[in-house]
Amino acid sequence: MRLAKVIGTLVATIKDPELQGAKLLVIQPLDGQHRPSGKPMVSIDAVGAGVGELVFWCRGKESSFPFSPREVPTDCTITGIVDRVNVEYDIGSRNR
């Protein structure tokens, strides 16, 4: 799982029937120092996140697991809302 910040919402009036009722959010992936890393992505929200929140997310086949037994066509899902991040060392340093 990776960290991201929710930066927007997406509304699609026509979509796959399995996505009906799903909240779609735009997330900005973050690096270890919480700086933007890569391009923003559209994600399905499985936990009730909102714009401005720090979240963790997953990609690939595992991103559909929170919706089981439904088969939701997704490649990116928000799976948690982050309350706090504690780092005990400089994660940017490779010398430790």
pLDDT along the chain (96 residues), means of 10: 95 91 96 93 96 95 81 91 84 59
The whole-angstrom separation of Cα 50 and Cα 87 is 24
pLDDT for 69 equals: 77
pTM of the model: 0.84
User: Which CATH fold topology does 2-71 show?
Assistant: OB fold (Dihydrolipoamide Acetyltransferase, E2P) (2.40.50)
The whole-angstrom separation of Cα 95 and Cα 81 is 31
CB burial readout 24-59, b (16+ within 10 A) else e: bbbbbbbeeeeeeeeeeeebbbbeebeeebbbbbbe
pLDDT for 46 equals: 93
The whole-angstrom separation of Cα 89 and Cα 14 is 46
| The amino acid at 29 | P
End-to-end CA distance of the chain: 22
The whole-angstrom separation of Cα 20 and Cα 12 is 10
